[in-house]
């Protein structure tokens, strides 16, 4: 290889490596920097809706606001502590944390930088002192209450009146898993259904998890949100197990049903908290928002694969039917 060609390649390579650092150095110091810590199956949807929310409030990413994204999948939630510490070292002005594992990682990483969370049961898992008066440096949205797991079970009972065993797929290290599972079990006792907890570390354990559901003849599975991945939906269909989780986006990727808050509206609302804090509000003084509207979604395409007839009464309750 000629020396001139080699020099060109080295220059191009070094330029690509240095460019992000140069760009970062050129960012005006008075422009707010937001760190986003994600442990959700589909981070792209959040990015789109968060940007829309910011735009509505007058912010344009890359111009008058800069955002640093850090993401860890469900099987690597142990990396969230490291990623949260990295955002602290970058001296971001605010950390946005989705979902509960990310919020706890941010809480461990800093007591000074404001944290806007989107989490499940933030009081029960110890993130805030109360919804009305969060205290400390954390506020945001409580979009997943523990009683939603019980509601999922009730909807399954309406769909499958003869079902006696239902699996609950939960994440081993997510603080929300315990209260989520407890609520499902409480509802199960009142309607005479046995719950089989299936505890996993992430996507890598899903094949074995669904095989165990077949072994004990579970009639359905309720999936904790951070495990409701495309792989989980695929395995549920392959094993002919009706599946359900808490957000519409999960029904769209192939789960049979979903029941929960409007996830996309919540993503946009995160921008509201960021804006309030940038304008001087303290997280301790901003009440944690709770959802007021819930959506029930049925995926009829999945129902056809499972050879399930959805009762008209259940279709009537649905806010959306995916055909």
Is residue 263 predicted with pLDDT exceeding 70? yes
Q: Which pLDDT value is given to residue 11?
A: 37
Q: Which pLDDT value is given to residue 24?
A: 43
Is residue 209 predicted with pLDDT exceeding 60? yes
Q: How many CB atoms lie within 10 A of CB 293?
A: 8
Q: Which pLDDT value is given to residue 291?
A: 87
Q: Which of 13-17, 64-68, 226-230 comes out lowest in average pLDDT?
A: 13-17
Is residue 237 predicted with pLDDT exceeding 60? yes
The β-bridge partners of 276 are none
Q: What is the mean pLDDT of residues 76-92?
A: 93
> For all residues of the chain together, what is the average pLDDT?
89
pTM metric for this prediction: 0.85
Please say whether the dihedral angle defined by the alpha carbons of residues 186, 189, 190 and 191, taken in this order, is positive or negative.
positive
Q: Out of 41-45, 63-67, 72-76, 171-175, give the one with best mean pLDDT.
A: 63-67
**pLDDT by residue (tens digit) across 35-53?**
999 987 778 899 999 999 9
Q: Give the pLDDT band of residue 76 (cuts 50, 70, 90).
A: confident
Cα(132)–Cα(19) distance, integer angstroms: 45
Q: Give the pLDDT band of residue 13 (cuts 50, 70, 90).
A: very low
Cα(40)–Cα(29) distance, integer angstroms: 30
Ordered structural domains, the chain, with CATH: 29-144+263-293 (3.40.50.2300), 147-261+295-322 (3.40.50.2300)
Q: Which pLDDT value is given to residue 127?
A: 96
Cα(157)–Cα(195) distance, integer angstroms: 13
Q: Give the pLDDT band of residue 28 (cuts 50, 70, 90).
A: low
Q: Following CA atoms 10, 15, 21, 22 in sequence, which dihedral angle do they give, to the nearest 10 degrees?
A: 140
Q: Which of 21-30, 95-104, 270-279, 304-313 comes out lowest in average pLDDT?
A: 21-30
Q: Which pLDDT value is given to residue 203?
A: 79
Q: What is the mean pLDDT of residues 250-271?
A: 94
Q: Which pLDDT value is given to residue 308?
A: 96
CA distances (Å), origin 298, targets 88, 305, 322:
41, 13, 6
Is residue 26 predicted with pLDDT exceeding 80? no
| Contact (CB, 8 A) for 289 and 141 | yes
Q: Which pLDDT value is given to residue 10?
A: 34
Is residue 186 predicted with pLDDT exceeding 90? yes
Q: Which pLDDT value is given to residue 30?
A: 83
Is residue 17 predicted with pLDDT exceeding 50? no
């Amino acid at each position: 290889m000629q020396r001139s060609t080699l020099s060109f390649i080295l220059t191009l390579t070094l330029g690509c490596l240095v460019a992000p650092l140069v760009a970062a150095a050129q960012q005006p110091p008075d422009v707010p920097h937001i760190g986003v810590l994600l442990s959700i199956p589909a981070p792209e949807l959040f990015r789109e809706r968060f940007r829309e929310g910011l735009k509505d409030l007058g912010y344009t990413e890359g111009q008058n606001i800069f955002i640093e994204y850090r993401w860890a999948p469900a099987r690597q939630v142990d990396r969230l502590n490291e990623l949260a510490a990295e955002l602290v070292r970058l001296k971001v002005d605010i950390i946005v944390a989705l979902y509960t594992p990310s919020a706890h990682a941010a809480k461990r990483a800093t007591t000074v930088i404001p944290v806007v969370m989107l989490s499940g049961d933030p009081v029960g898992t110890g993130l805030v002192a109360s919804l009305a008066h969060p205290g400390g440096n954390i506020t945001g949205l409580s979009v997943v209450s523990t009683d939603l797991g019980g509601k999922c079970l009730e909807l399954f009972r309406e769909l499958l009146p003869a079902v006696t065993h239902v699996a609950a797929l939960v994440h081993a290290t997510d603080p929300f898993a315990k209260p989520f599972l407890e609520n499902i079990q409480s509802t199960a006792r009142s309607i005479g259904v046995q719950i089989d907890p299936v505890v996993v570390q992430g996507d890598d354990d899903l094949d074995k998890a669904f095989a165990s559901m077949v072994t004990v003849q579970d009639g359905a599975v309720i999936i904790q949100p951070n495990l409701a991945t495309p792989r989980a939906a695929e395995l549920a269909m392959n094993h002919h197990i009706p599946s359900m989780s808490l957000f519409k986006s999960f029904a769209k990727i192939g789960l049979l049903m979903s029941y929960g808050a409007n996830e996309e509206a919540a993503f946009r609302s995160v921008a509201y908290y960021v804006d309030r804090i940038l304008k001087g509000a303290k997280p301790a003084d901003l009440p944690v928002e709770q959802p007021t509207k819930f959506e029930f979604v049925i995926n009829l395409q999945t129902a056809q694969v499972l050879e399930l007839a959805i009762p008209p009464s259940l279709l009537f309750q649905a806010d959306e039917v995916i055909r």
